[in-house]
């Protein structure tokens, strides 16, 4: 049975800029104690955006989507961000160049939607769901 994070509460997340990794720590609380804990680990991160963090977030869905969809949806934001601050680093001056850069590095898109609170997206080479072992 695949690991699911539907209805998991987000406990916190950590971004390693140097390691280009993100870890979102989650907990499923609907079954009673002990709660199931699952980490969502992204590696090879090129860019991400999390919005509406209300410090009590519940995940609705985490889905693998074409990176092209995220880039096209955020093109204006990327153009402005690159002009103002160099974000995202993969933006090379045009949509086609950015898409080619991500494609040659096999970067995937991941969309996080919520039942309550934080949503967003991540562009990364890999995403893994890891169940925490009970001690």
Bridge partners (DSSP) of residue 72 are: none
Is residue 1 one of the residues assigned to a domain? no
The DSSP code for 40 is E
Q: What residues are paired with 46 via a beta bridge?
A: none
In a domain, 2, yes or no: no
pLDDT at 76: 96
pLDDT tens, position by position, 42-69: 999 999 999 999 999 999 999 999 999 9
44 in any annotated domain: yes
Question: CA-CA distance, 85 to 4, in Å (whole number)?
Answer: 36
User: What pLDDT digit, counting tens, does each position of 11-36 carry?
Assistant: 999 999 999 999 999 999 887 667 88
Mean pLDDT, residues 72-78: 97
Range of the domain at 75: 9-131
pTM of the model: 0.93
pLDDT tens readout for residues 81-101:
999 999 999 998 899 999 999
In the chain, DSSP assigns E strands to 9-16, 21-28, 36-43, 47-51, 58-65, 108-116, 119-124, 126-131
Q: How many domains does the chain have?
A: 1
Residue 3 lies in a domain: no
pLDDT tens-digit map of 91-127: 988 999 999 999 999 999 999 999 999 999 999 999 9
Q: Which two tokens stand for residue 112?
A: 């996080």
């Amino acid at each position: 049975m695949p690991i699911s994070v539907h209805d998991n509460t987000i406990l916190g997340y950590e971004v390693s800029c140097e390691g280009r990794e993100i870890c979102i720590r989650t907990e499923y609380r609907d079954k009673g104690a002990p709660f199931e804990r699952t980490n969502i680990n992204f590696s090879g991160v090129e860019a991400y955006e999390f919005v509406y963090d209300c410090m009590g977030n519940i995940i609705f869905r985490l889905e693998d989507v074409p990176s092209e969809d995220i880039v096209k949806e955020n093109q204006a934001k990327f153009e402005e961000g690159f002009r103002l601050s160099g974000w995202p680093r993969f933006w090379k001056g045009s949509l086609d160049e950015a898409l080619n850069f991500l494609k040659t590095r096999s970067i995937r898109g991941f969309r996080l939607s919520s039942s309550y609170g934080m949503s967003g997206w991540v562009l990364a080479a890999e995403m893994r769901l890891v169940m925490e072992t009970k001690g």
